[in-house]
Amino acid sequence: MRIYEKVIKKPWPYWVGGILLALLNISLLLATGSPWSITTGLLYWAAAIMERLGFRPADWYYFNNSYEYGLKAGQGFLFNTYTVLNIAIIIGALIAVLWAKEFKWKRVKNIKQFLFALGGGIIMGYGTRLSFGCNIGAYFSAIPSFSLHGWVFAAFMFVGAWIGSKILFKYIL
Amino acid sequence: MAEYKLDCLYEACPIPLLKALKQLEKMAIGEVLILHTDHNCSIKNVVEWTKKQGHYIDYVEISEGEWEIYIEKAK
Amino acid sequence: MTSSRIEELKRQRQTELKKRGNQLPYAIAATAAALVIYFALVKYNMSFSYYWIIGILLGITMQRSRFCFSASFRDPIMVGSTSLLKAIIMALFISSIGFFIIQYRAYLMNPSHQLKQIPGQLHPMGIHTAIGAILFGIGMVIAGGCASGVLVRIGEGYIMQVMVLIGFLIGTTIGARHFEFWDRILISKAPIVYLPHHIGYFPALLLQLLLLVILYFIADWYDKKNNIMSTM
């Protein structure tokens, strides 16, 4: 019972999480040759929706340039390694929260929360295309890859977070 | 001694913490704040922050994924 | 740290609690389903199976430790707390060593390698990185979660984060459509700066580890300094 309390019920210390995430990221790079990244997979989902709507995202410049963001052979916008990883993260969180008996559907509180969620998502999504990833791909995996863009991303994300905090204090709280 | 209730249902980070912080500033020493939340992170970051400030704190899970956090202002 | 008054309130509250439903059957079902998928992938698609199992573990770790990348950047600014940032610096320290070993091994096996063959996230660095990072920083604070946090919170049952995800898909699509423009004016002129190619492998590792240690102590000092109630 005490182990249940400690491991499954009580939140772990942050540093435990940090160490485990680092080890998992190294394992992923070792096993697959590419480190943890999320947002390319989310763009693929968006592209899959665009395909259903009758557009042809596979022809877009974004997927046809020297940065190699096109699909790998045998993969589709919906079925690819990014999707597997992203869905697995959602399922992993679900499993953890169910074992702790803490799952609860949480509805949207009001229209303001909805608008900020949507707006924040749009700004974030746009930003990731410029910076080649989010704070996973362009930061958590980029800095250990010894690519300097990870450090630049980190520094300017602080600037963004500072502006965001100002907005939050002024309009949301 | 007065008790204050704060409803933070359906709010995400960092709103519960900031609301608690604001309310605590208005309160007198010895008064208790009861924070009602369903945000899984609150029982971690609100607790951590309050301890750092030196207030008394504990929480009860009142139903699945819903907590009441009790904070007694200590200084 | 608790007080007699809080104990009294807790006791009072616990007596009047309604009987709770049980989520364990769902937990067992979800775990079983995840394992079945894993073994199916091991059989039919080995590469996918790695992504699946590591993804599951990443999700569990993030949920259990309440890890939040956006909070690590937001909390120092808002409430002066850096415990998450310190955890991330620690994680970067460990992964730098791990990534280094993997990259160095790749280099030894193929000394005349090109940038594209290096395992890791190597991308052009320039003004576009800064613009993207600022936009991302603003977005993650007002939306209440970054990309990884959104995925984890959807697993926790947040409908609001589904809205963030929908917003993200819209934004990232617009961004991809505008990519040609940004590529023409900024990205195509920006270099990929891979530190080991400029200062050597081991100096790059040492420099980075040193920098992370320094940042850790700065974060620690900042946390202690902000031990007073502060509001903006």
pLDDT in tens, A115-126: 999 999 999 999
Q: Does A106 sit within 8 Å of B10, measured CB to CB?
A: yes
DSSP reduced 3-state for A125: helix
d(CA A149, CA A26): 19
Name A173's bridge partners.
none
Contact status, residue B70 vs residue B32, Cβ threshold 8 Å: yes
What is the predicted pLDDT for the residue at B63?
86
Alpha helices in C144-200 (DSSP H): 147-156, 159-177, 179-185, 195-199
Is the Cβ pair B14, C71 closer than 8 Å? yes
Show residues of chain C in contact with A68, CB under 8 Å: 116
What pLDDT is stored for residue A155 in this prediction?
Answer: 95
Same domain flag for C31 and C79: no
C5 touching B, CB under 8 A? yes
Q: Do C141 and C34 lie in a common domain?
A: no
Asked if the Cβ–Cβ distance from B66 to A168 is below 8 Å, we say no
| β-sheet bridge partners, residue B63 | B66
Q: Determine, yes or no, domain membership for C139.
A: yes
pTM of the full structure: 0.94
Assigned token pair, B14 = 């960092």
Residue C26 lies in a domain: yes
Instruction: Confirm whether C158 is domain-assigned.
Output: yes
Kindly state whether residues C3 and C53 are assigned to the same domain: yes
Q: Residue A68 pLDDT more than 90?
A: no
Looking at the domain assignment, is residue C128 inside a domain? Answer: yes
- The answer to whether residues C128 and C188 belong to one domain is yes
The CA distance from B25 to C157, in Å, is 32
Q: How far is C174 from A119, CA to CA, in rounded Å?
A: 13
Residue C3 counted as domain residue: yes
Q: Per-residue confidence at C232, pLDDT binned at 50, 70, 90? A: very low
- B66-72/B3-8 β-pairing: unpaired
ipTM associated with this complex? 0.94
Closest Cα to residue B62, out of C232, A153, A102? A102
Q: Which residue has the higher pLDDT, B10 or C57?
A: C57
- For residues C111 and C216, membership in a common domain is answered with yes
DSSP string for C94-151: HHHHHHHHHHHHHHHH-TT--GGGSSS---B-SHHHHHHHHHHHHHHHHHT--HHHHH
Q: What percent of chain B has pLDDT over 70?
A: 99
Domain assignment present for C112: yes
H or E element that contains B66 = strand B66-72
Closest among A71, A39, A64, A147 to C124, alpha carbons compared: A147
Output Rg (C-alpha) for chain B, integer angstroms. 11
- Specify the pLDDT at position C63: 95
Domain containing C189 equals 123-193
User: What does the radius of gyration of chain C's CA atoms come to, in whole angstroms?
Assistant: 23
CA-CA-CA-CA torsion sign (A136, A138, A143, A144): positive
| Cα Rg, chain A, nearest whole Å | 19
Pairing status of strand B56-63 against strand B3-8: unpaired
C115 and C135 together in one domain: no
Compute the C-alpha angle A108/A114/A119, nearest 5°. Answer: 150
Q: Do A146 and C196 touch (CB under 8 A)?
A: yes
Q: Is A19 within 8 Å of C183 when comparing Cβ atoms? A: no
Of A107, A108, A173, the CB nearest to B15: A173
Q: Which helix (H) or strand (E) holds B33?
A: strand B32-37
pLDDT value, residue C227: 63
Residue type, B16: P
Mean pLDDT of chain C: 91
Predicted pLDDT of residue C230: 46
What whole-number percentage of chain C has pLDDT above 90? 75
Chain A residues with CB-CB distance to C168 below 8 A: 39, 42, 121-122, 124-125
Q: Using CA atoms, how far apart are residues A138 and A153, in angstroms rounded to an integer?
A: 7
- Strand B66-72, strand B32-37: pairing: antiparallel
**CA distances (Å), A137 to each of A6, A40, B15, C110, C120, in order?**
31, 9, 27, 25, 9
Q: Provide the pLDDT for residue A1.
A: 66
**Furthest C-alpha separation in chain C:** 71
pLDDT in tens, C155-196: 999 999 999 999 999 999 999 999 999 999 999 999 999 999
- Given a cut of 80, whether residue A138 has pLDDT beyond it is yes
- Please tell me whether residues C133 and C115 are part of one structural domain: no
For tokens 């590419």, the residue is A34
Strand segments, DSSP code E, in A36-170 are none
Residue with tokens 């740290």: C1
- Asked if C159 and C141 sit in the same domain, the reply is yes
Chains that touch C (3 or more CB pairs under 8 A): A, B
Contact partners, residue C4, CB within 8 Å, separation at least 6: none
- For residues C19 and C40, membership in a common domain is answered with yes
Q: What is the pLDDT of residue A74?
A: 78
At residue C229, does pLDDT exceed 50? no
Backbone φ and ψ for B11, nearest 5 degrees, come out as -90, 145
Q: What's the domain count of chain C?
A: 3
Asked if residue C204 belongs to a domain, the reply is: no
Look up residue A8 and give its two tokens.
Answer: 């499954």
Which is more confident, C4 or A62? A62
Instruction: Indicate if the pLDDT at residue C18 is higher than 80.
Output: no
What pLDDT does residue A73 have?
A: 76
C25 CB within 8 Å of a chain A CB: no
Q: 45-104 in A: which are within 8 Å (CB) of C?
A: 45-47, 49-50, 57, 60-62, 65, 67-68, 81, 84-99, 101-104
| C25 within some domain | yes
Boundary-marking domain end, from C43, C65, C87: C65
Q: What confidence tens digit (pLDDT) does each residue in C60-114 have?
A: 999 999 999 999 999 998 888 999 999 999 999 999 999 999 999 999 998 888 8
Backbone angles phi, psi at A34, to 5 degrees: -135, 140
pLDDT at B64: 86
